[in-house]
Amino acid sequence: MSASGIDGLAEKAIWQIGDKIRSTPARARADFKAEIVNDIQVKGAHLTIELDPQPHDPKHVNVCGWPPDKDLRLSIAQDLCAKSMLRIRLEAD
Amino acid sequence: MITYCPTLDGSAALAISAIDAYSEAGQEIKRIVKDGLRHLAQPKVEALMVELDQIVKESAHETLRIDAETADAASEFVSLLPWDFPLPEVSPDPDGEILFDWLGPSGKMFSASVNKTGRIAYAGRFGERSKVHGTEQLSTTFPQDILRGIARATS
């Protein structure tokens, strides 16, 4: 899973990261604290965050260590979702 | 032969597994019953089918396409959904599967992902310490564990 470090970035700059990797403008995003990746309590999951700087996004990271079983991956994704903050893009952004 | 199976929500699900699927007449009856079920389930199922078709069409322009087998399996899954169950959100998964999400009150959620072989991977989150996950295979009736999960997430 791809993610980006957003500490210290203005809202506009955060949305622009999403715009660069999508064919259409980003409309929503999920913000989460890096620590929650370590708190994921799903059997068999040992997720880690690995730095993967990209030209368009120097703070790009990959969330690695997803288990092979799809049902476990869904369960982890639900945990991440529950612990994230949904942000809807405003017209001004 | 058509058998009526009670479901968790009190509605009746039709199972047509008793038909001899290898005879021509059996195939014809199976098709008629299926078409009839689809007609009765409209417009809910129809709305989901339209959404599903749209996802498959849009995926043709993406790097990872939804193939015909996966689309068929997902359609079968939709056609088996109990008529009075809440509609899921449908989306393509990055691995080429089709994902169905039910979002309930208080952050409860249930997801089911269908692949080309008819394998349904599911997970439900009903609280910090209340979670389920597992796999089922598509058959002629809707998997009971998945029904329970949807009911729990949306109640």
C-alpha distances in Å from residue B27, one per residue of A52, B18, B20, B33, B34: 54, 12, 8, 10, 10
Q: What is the number of residues in chain A? A: 93
Smallest CA–CA distance, residue B135 to chain A, in Å, is 7
Task: Encode pLDDT of B5-62 as tens digits.
Answer: 444 444 444 444 444 556 788 778 867 776 666 666 667 788 888 899 998 888 877 7
pLDDT at B45: 81
In B, which residues are within 8 Å of A85 by CB distance? none
Find the residue in A nearest to B111 (Cα): A74
Rounded to two decimals, the pTM is 0.78
In which band, very low, low, confident or very high, does the pLDDT at A41 lie, cut at 50, 70 and 90?
low
Task: Encode pLDDT of A42-70 as tens digits.
Answer: 666 788 899 999 988 999 999 999 999 99
Q: What are phi and psi of B81, to 5 degrees?
A: -60, 135
Would an 8 Å CB–CB cutoff place B122 in contact with chain A? yes
List CB contacts of B53: < 8 A, sequence separation 6 or more. Answer: B71
